[in-house]
Structure 1
Amino acid sequence: MSISKSQTEKFGQIFSGSRFIIPSYQRKYSWTEKETKALWQDIEESLKDNMNHFVGTLSFKENKPEGLSTDIVYEIIDGQQRITTLFILLKVLIEKIPDQKIQNDQITAFIGSKGNLRLLPLGEDGEFLNTLLFDFNNINLNAIDKRSQKYMYSAKSTFTALANALSREEIEERIIFIRDRLDVLFFNVTSQAQSVKMFSIINDRGLPLRILDKTKSILMLYSTLHLMESLNDSINLAFEKIFDSYDDILVWRDKLGILGRLEENTIFTQHYYSSRKLFPDTWTNRDGAETIFDNLKKRCEDLKNKPTELNTFITEYLSDFKAFSVSYAQLIKDIQTVPIYQKPFRYLEFTATLYPVLVRLYMQNKLIQLLPLLESIEVRVYKLRGTNPIADMYWLSSQLTENDLTIEEIKAYLISFSEKFVNNHVFETYLDSAIAENRVVKYILSEYCNNNLDIAVYKNLQIEHIFSKDPNYDVSSYGFSKDYEYEKNRIGNLSLLEESINKGLGNLPPVNKITGYLSSVITDTRNLAGEIQKGNYCKPCVDNRRKKIVDFCIDRFKVN
């Protein structure tokens, strides 16, 4: 069928004689199990209430048939998440039809064939969707490294599980419902300009778009309305890279177990904090994502009657944001393979505030040289002291973007920053206090023991109190006085121990922990067992151990 400029239609009818492609510049498939289950539930409730279900607005750009083909091909402008999910669901249901001829007819009519789908994302996701729909059982889930493909796999798996419980009649009922009773408002636009205007209008009416979609949309709008569409292709290509980079970051975040709170807003804001030169009148280091988006929109609005300046701003913003995103993704990937990255990124885990600086240094091939200094700052300022200075670091990240700073200039700034917040005297004072609950203690002790620990072993380690937190013995006989509540949490009384071993030691005195300590893989803990075995292990021994660890830290995490 041919879709007119705008019409309300049944979902099943649009696939009659039509094919749909998802352009490579669109963001990849991103519906999670939450959204797929919600769609299923909407259909179930509509069936129960005997009502049609409106799935929303979809917009397309019509591409005329090529050669002898009779199929009209529509480029999906907006709505690809919903239409892809429904396409997968329809295939799952059709697979459950027992009559092979009817099943084949339905697949041909609504799904197409392998290599010739009626809905096809361009690029690698298109190849994966073919395999997902026609060769699902041969997919190795562990080999999938694209976030979009994991989500498509999850959608197919979820719908398959839900459909398994249905009878033949219930399967047919749902296929007919999707085909004939899912209502969709279609817009068939004739140009990209028209689609951009419509998309922006939809956005302004309050539909919940994510920050990267909104950013792309507003740039497309100003390019279309004020630059005669001259930057539309550049915007599409740049955001294809940005979307892919963000997806790659999420995949590697999960593999490496870092960046737990990272989201679209994070990468969007971190780029902004390191690109002050692009927003000279509105930039501050405390703006949130929505304010930053408003600043971007205001910048475009201020320049809309100055096409040359508007073109320059959008071009520079696109180029820098793309480069930042691609480098961010590559840095996260490199963590697995570059040995020097392992400990600070995976074991210590840099605070999010440092990432604008880390990424900019990586872009300039300066990160490896400065990593030990940044690691020390993370230990001293962000972890041990527990503060989160942002102004200085965001200023530095923008300086790195605006000026070609030398390694020595950057070092000087970082040293000054550390001296400002945690100089050696302050560092020693913090280390000498009761810090058992501080999250950096585990990292400090792991460095002190000098074991080359596997990440799985490291994450399984716990902080062990040599003299117990709740002792079942008289601590005064070991030289402790009434200030034991303070003394027990100082670093000299702390060691590392595997969780499984630690559980069995309870609140025993040190002499009764020797066997447990000797079974540890941690060299320092086994050595500690030897010291206790000698006898007379008491408070002076703990004090001496504390002094050794503090001296080690002053040298290991030095900043000059």
Structure 2
Amino acid sequence: MSITKSQTEKIGAIFNGNRFVIPTYQRKYSWTDTERKALWQDIEESLKDNMNHFVGTLSFKENKSIGLSTDTVYEIIDGQQRITTLFILLKNLIDKIEDSKVRESQLSAFIGSKENLKLQPLGADGDFLKRLLFDFDNIDQESINKRSQRFMYSASKLFSAFANPLKSSEIEARIIFIRDRIEVLVFNVENQAQAVKMFSIINDRGLPLRILDKTKSILMLYSTLHLKEELNNQVNNSFEKIFDSYDDLLVSKEKLGILGRLEENTIFTQHYYSASKLFPSTWNNRDGADTIFDNLKTRCEELKENPADLKTFIEEYLVDFENFAVNYSNLVKEIETNSLYQKPFRYLEFTATLYPVIVRLYMQCKLDELLPILETIEVRVYKLRGTNPIADMYWLSSHISAFDLSVDDIRNHLKNFCEKFVNNHVFRTYLDNPIYGNGAVKYILSEFSEHNYNLNTYKDFQVEHVFSKNPNYDALSYGFADDYDYEKNRFGNLGLLEKGLNIGLGNLPPINKVNGYLESKNSEIRNLAGEIQKGNFNKISVDKRRNIILEYCINRFTLN
């Protein structure tokens, strides 16, 4: 069946006699169980209420058929998440049909064969979809390292589980419903220009396209309308790598437990903050994703009457964004295996503000040499002081990107930044104050012990009050005055102890904690147990220990 330019269609009619490809530049499959369960529930409710179900708008571009195939081939411009989900759902339902002849006829009409699927993502996801649909039981779930493929695998598992308890008549009813009663509004565009114009319209109408999709589409639009499609392939190829890099970042984020609230906007904005040279008239370090996208459109509008300048800008933006995204992904993958990166990235955890600088330094192979001073900045400024200065850091990331600075030049910039916000005097003052609850304390105490704990051990540590937070004894008898609430939270009275041991010790006096301390993997707290056991451990002892920790910090997190 040929799809006309604009019409409401049933899913069954769309798949019957047509084949669809998902280009490599499109977003990878990213629907989660939340969206999939919602779709299943919509189908169940519509069946119950005897109503058709409308799933939205789809946009296709017709491609020329290959060879003697009688099917029409369409490129999916918009709607591939819904199409892919329905395709996997249909396959799982059809697999439950008991009559083999009926099952094969349904597969032939709506799914195709392993060699010739009705829906074909291009690239590695296409090969995986074939295995998923026709060789599911032989897929090793643990070996799936692409986020999009993990989502497809989860979709098949979910729909198989939902379909499993259904009777034959119930399976048939759902296949018929999907085929005949799920409706979509279809737009069939004739060429690439119409395709990107469609994206532009969707963007302007406020439909929920994500920031990377919108960015790709606007660059495609200007390439198509003002550069005679000259950069279309480059836009497609660059964004394929950007999409893959972002998906890889999400996999690494989940695996390593770092990167906090990383999302599409994060990688998009962090690139912009480190690329002021590309936006000379509009760049601002406080711009959000929507403003940055508007700046991109503004820059294209400024240059569209001069195609050579427009081409140069788009090329430079694509190359820089692609390199930034790919290196970002490579850096985070390397964190797992590079021993130099373990502590600052996984134990201390850099603030997001530092990542534009970190990624640019990684791109220039300068990160390893500058990692110690970046660690110092994180401890002093972002963790201990608890402030988040962005202007200087984003300026520096752009400066690093624009100029070939030496490692010493960059180190001096970083040193000046740290001295501006937390010089040695300020550092000592913060360290000397009540510090319990500060984000730097656990890392400082871990480093103070001078032992390389594995990550699980480090995560199990809690910050322990040597003289208890809520003592069941008289703290005044140990030399403390009425300011105990102040003194108990200073460094000399804090140590690292495993969670289980810490809970077990409760609010006991130090002498009654010795046996618990001796069981710890933390050598520093074990040594402290020996000092307590020796006798006369009191406020003077705590003050002495605090001064030792302070001197250690000044030397360990130094600017020299």
**Aligned partner letter, 1:371:** L
Superposed, 1:124-523 pairs within 5 Å as: 124-523=124-523
Q: Secondary structure at the match of 1:36?
A: helix
Residue 550 (structure 1) aligned with residue 556 (structure 2): no
Q: Secondary structure at the match of 1:120?
A: strand
Q: Secondary structure at the match of 1:116?
A: coil
Once the two structures are TM-superposed, the CA of residue 162 in structure 1 deviates from its matched residue by: 2.2
Q: Secondary structure at the match of 1:345?
A: helix
Once the two structures are TM-superposed, the CA of residue 532 in structure 1 deviates from its matched residue by: 1.1
- Deviation string, structure 1 residues 255-301 (Cα, Å, up to 9, x no partner): 11001201000110001101111111111110111111111111111
Once the two structures are TM-superposed, the CA of residue 527 in structure 1 deviates from its matched residue by: 1.0
Q: Distance in 1 between matches of 2:62 and 2:166?
A: 37
Aligned to 2:28: 28
Q: Distance in 1 between matches of 2:260 and 2:156?
A: 26
Once the two structures are TM-superposed, the CA of residue 71 in structure 1 deviates from its matched residue by: 2.3
Aligned to 1:78: 78
- Deviation string, structure 1 residues 214-257 (Cα, Å, up to 9, x no partner): 11111111111111111111111110011000001111111110
Q: Distance in 1 between matches of 2:260 and 2:29?
A: 21
Q: Distance in 1 between matches of 2:506 and 2:513?
A: 9
- Deviation string, structure 1 residues 110-163 (Cα, Å, up to 9, x no partner): 111223211111111111111211222222222211110111112112222222
**Aligned partner letter, 1:310:** L
Aligned to 1:17: 17
Q: Secondary structure at the match of 1:187?
A: strand
- Deviation string, structure 1 residues 297-338 (Cα, Å, up to 9, x no partner): 111112121211111111111111111101100110111111
**Aligned partner letter, 1:39:** L
Once the two structures are TM-superposed, the CA of residue 547 in structure 1 deviates from its matched residue by: 0.8
Aligned to 2:44: 44
**Aligned partner letter, 1:399:** H
Q: Distance in 1 between matches of 2:230 and 2:338?
A: 41
Aligned to 2:97: 97
Q: Secondary structure at the match of 2:505?
A: coil
**Aligned partner letter, 1:133:** L
Q: Secondary structure at the match of 2:504?
A: coil
Q: Distance in 1 between matches of 2:97 and 2:535?
A: 77
Q: Distance in 1 between matches of 2:310 and 2:120?
A: 35
Once the two structures are TM-superposed, the CA of residue 192 in structure 1 deviates from its matched residue by: 1.0
**Aligned partner letter, 2:259:** L
Once the two structures are TM-superposed, the CA of residue 541 in structure 1 deviates from its matched residue by: 1.0
Once the two structures are TM-superposed, the CA of residue 521 in structure 1 deviates from its matched residue by: 0.8
**Aligned partner letter, 2:238:** A
Unaligned runs of 5+ in 1: none
Q: Distance in 2 between matches of 1:107 and 1:522?
A: 62
Deviates more, 1:2-11 or 1:334-343: 2-11
Deviates more, 1:183-192 or 1:146-155: 183-192
Q: Distance in 2 between matches of 1:200 and 1:306?
A: 21
Q: Distance in 1 between matches of 2:436 and 2:553?
A: 15
**Aligned partner letter, 1:256:** L
Q: Secondary structure at the match of 1:496?
A: strand
Instruction: Provide the alpha-carbon RMSD of the alignment.
Output: 1.1
**Would you say how many aligned residue pairs link Structure 1 and Structure 2?**
560
Q: Secondary structure at the match of 1:469?
A: coil
Q: Secondary structure at the match of 1:19?
A: strand
| TM-score of the two chains, using structure 2 as the length reference | 0.98
Q: Distance in 2 between matches of 1:231 and 1:296?
A: 16
Once the two structures are TM-superposed, the CA of residue 356 in structure 1 deviates from its matched residue by: 0.3
Q: Secondary structure at the match of 2:470?
A: coil
Once the two structures are TM-superposed, the CA of residue 98 in structure 1 deviates from its matched residue by: 2.1
Superposed, 1:104-115 pairs within 5 Å as: 104-115=104-115
Once the two structures are TM-superposed, the CA of residue 7 in structure 1 deviates from its matched residue by: 2.4
**Aligned partner letter, 1:121:** P
Q: Distance in 2 between matches of 1:556 and 1:2?
A: 71
Q: Distance in 1 between matches of 2:353 and 2:411?
A: 18
Q: Distance in 1 between matches of 2:382 and 2:506?
A: 32
Once the two structures are TM-superposed, the CA of residue 105 in structure 1 deviates from its matched residue by: 1.9
Q: Distance in 1 between matches of 2:115 and 2:488?
A: 68
Identity rate, percent: 70
Q: Distance in 2 between matches of 1:33 and 1:76?
A: 23
Aligned to 2:524: 524
**Aligned partner letter, 1:79:** G
- Deviation string, structure 1 residues 6-46 (Cα, Å, up to 9, x no partner): 32211012222221111111111011111111111221222
Once the two structures are TM-superposed, the CA of residue 496 in structure 1 deviates from its matched residue by: 0.6
Q: Secondary structure at the match of 2:521?
A: coil
**Aligned partner letter, 1:361:** L
**Aligned partner letter, 1:54:** F
Unaligned runs of 5+ in 2: none
**Aligned partner letter, 1:364:** Q
Q: Distance in 1 between matches of 2:66 and 2:442?
A: 64
Q: Distance in 2 between matches of 1:304 and 1:67?
A: 40
Q: Distance in 2 between matches of 1:328 and 1:101?
A: 51
Q: Secondary structure at the match of 1:504?
A: helix
**Aligned partner letter, 2:397:** S
**Aligned partner letter, 2:543:** D
Q: Distance in 1 between matches of 2:142 and 2:489?
A: 43
Q: Distance in 1 between matches of 2:309 and 2:468?
A: 67
**Aligned partner letter, 1:217:** S
Q: Distance in 2 between matches of 1:354 and 1:327?
A: 15
